[in-house]
Chains A and B, each alone.
Chain A
């Protein structure tokens, strides 16, 4: 029999191996972003950006309004995610901790909304936002994003709330806490990983969303990052797509997400959770 430490070491090695496999396309993106196009078209793959340089990044940053798009994206995404988490959390709490008439219909409606293909809706959304004067408007776009991610988040959070034994709360109430106190001291910390996972997901959905953004933000000055990136992938009548620049631009779009994740990932580990339960 292997000891606990030996087992953990083996699992750690497997985890790192899987991590390497999963991140390979990401590595390939970064590698390509450092290479000139002639190398990218070559028959012999370049596995290591030896002799590579930052030209693609320089060109990309010179050409487009990266920082402007970054600002718009950050504003739209943060508004949408914050609003979505609050709204969805309230709804998830209601449907998993209380019983009332209409609950099942609400749950089913939210589910069915998820199933509706979005491809056919943009015309109507555009008409509506046009009439409300909310086109080319950060708040308008973030409201649409909120509507798009709330159903999913309600369902996810519902699962997480349902996963926290209500007995824990009840035990705390026996110890003299009020219901609200019990909820916020006991259940809420246990929900942190779920909130973070749902939040990360909502964040990524909004951050990378493209179709709705395209139709709503027709003004170049209001472009979000995916729209900014899109401009590099469009072929045209007078030039070929510059794939090196596409990869550099993609890398730039992904960096803020990674920073966001590193900030919140601590919340995802169980340390904080078990601490709260024990404390």
Chain B
């Protein structure tokens, strides 16, 4: 297979480059050589403004201390990332040396041969302590090309007051969750507000019942919507859409938190429960006197991770976050590796955690603190899952195949027939 050849060639090349000045260790592992990087100037692309300035400054200072070179950080937007990476990564003169990359489309670039094989340095950068779901997304034929950078996670926000008034408590299983939110639904209030095409949240139900979107069978990706477990999840989801949510069918991943705050016209919330990324808590709360700020109110609002099928388990939700990789076209690979070493150092991982970003190396999650948001995040992230690491995943997201599928499930279509139709569509796109 072409991809294998390219991958092998890439790893050979990188070993050859570094062989002269590195010390081999067991298991094909090579120690990153700081001396080889002396005087190299490197560029790091970060996506979006999630990495705080203090962390950026720390990287710049430390990189300069180690190599005497300069680290330049360019911030790029998530929405533009593919266009930017497509145009810059192949070019030796314009490529960033290290780049952050969305976790769900890591596979699209790793299989295309855009990144340097990091497997020789894998153990030094964290090895099995790294969040494995993300490592898998960046792995091709057993070699790691992209490693996790940070993670976020989604959990449930609920109205304590509404739930208490109906005599409901935090559910122990997903079945209990489903029936509770259905019972909280009235004509003017969704028990659980979930956009009709919001597949990123909806897939939690597929995952929870043991299903999957696609599976890898002997090197070929295949749609798995028709599998028994997936069908079970889809039926539960369809019932939930029907009995608990008033959200429009065309809505996806928007701003669900507006529905859980009291609405000004009625004084009651539009939804008793939502699922949202952790940072949504900054937008949830009581409106202050001045009418310009919201303050979280522990008496009215609460959070918990979505429970799994068995009691005291956590459902695998879709994991947000990103990976990080070294460009194969980089002329400063030694410097890039030193930067990777810094990013995966205990200091930097701790700082990520302190700033509310799930650290790639799970040894450092404690630094996130122990408030309810941090524990909900860590709990839900433990079981969290990613979309299939198939080469064509970016195409599937771009073509909105899943939005279409979930929308049709929401509208009450026959899940088995729909699954057969959309498995075929997935099969068409997954492997290219």
Contact = CB atoms under 8 A, between A and B. Distances in A.
A and B touch in the complex (CB under 8 A): yes
Interface of A: 36, 38-39, 41-44, 51, 122-123, 126-127, 130, 133, 135-136, 211, 214-215, 218-220, 230-231, 233-240
A43 B264 contact: yes
Given A42-B264, A43-B263, A237 B320 contact: yes
B80 interface: yes
Contacts of A236: 47-50, 78
Nearest to A218: B88
Given A127-B91, A135-B94, 6 more contacts: A41-B258, A43-B265, A51-B291, A122-B87, A215-B84, A218-B88
29 contacts: A39-B291, A41-B255, A42-B264, A43-B264, A126-B88, A127-B87, A130-B91, A130-B93, A130-B94, A135-B94, A136-B94, A211-B83, A214-B84, A215-B83, A215-B84, A218-B76, A218-B84, A220-B74, A230-B80, A231-B49, A233-B77, A234-B77, A235-B48, A236-B48, A237-B50, A237-B277, A237-B320, A238-B356, A239-B50
Pairs A-B, 10 closest by C-beta atoms: A126-B87, A236-B48, A36-B292, A234-B77, A130-B91, A215-B87, A238-B50, A237-B152, A238-B279, A236-B50
Contacts of A126: 87-88, 91
Contacts of B188: none
Given A43-B265, A133-B93, A240-B279, A122 B83 contact: yes
Contacts of A231: 49, 75, 77
Contacts of B79: 230, 233-235
A229 to B, nearest CB: 11
A123 B50 CA distance: 28
A219 B93 CA distance: 13
Contacts of A230: 77, 79-80
B88 to A, nearest CB: 6
B294 A38 contact: yes
B88 A214 contact: no
B225 to A, nearest CB: 27
Contacts of B321: 237
B277 A44 contact: no
A36 B288 CA distance: 12
A26 B282 CA distance: 29
Nearest to B102: A237
A40 to B, nearest CB: 10
B322 interface: yes
A69 to B, nearest CB: 13
Interface in B283-303: 283, 287, 291-294
Interface centre among A39, A211, A219, A240 (most CB of B within 10 A): A240
Nearest to B151: A237
Contacts of A43: 263-265
A214 B83 contact: yes
A219 B45 CA distance: 10
Contacts of B293: 36, 38
B357 interface: yes
A41 to B, nearest CB: 5
A44 B265 contact: yes
Contacts of B292: 36, 38-39
B397 interface: no
Q: Which of A44, A127, A130, A236 has the most CB of B within 10 A?
A: A236
Contact of B279 (A127, A135, A234, A239): A239
Interface in B239-279: 255, 258, 263-265, 277, 279
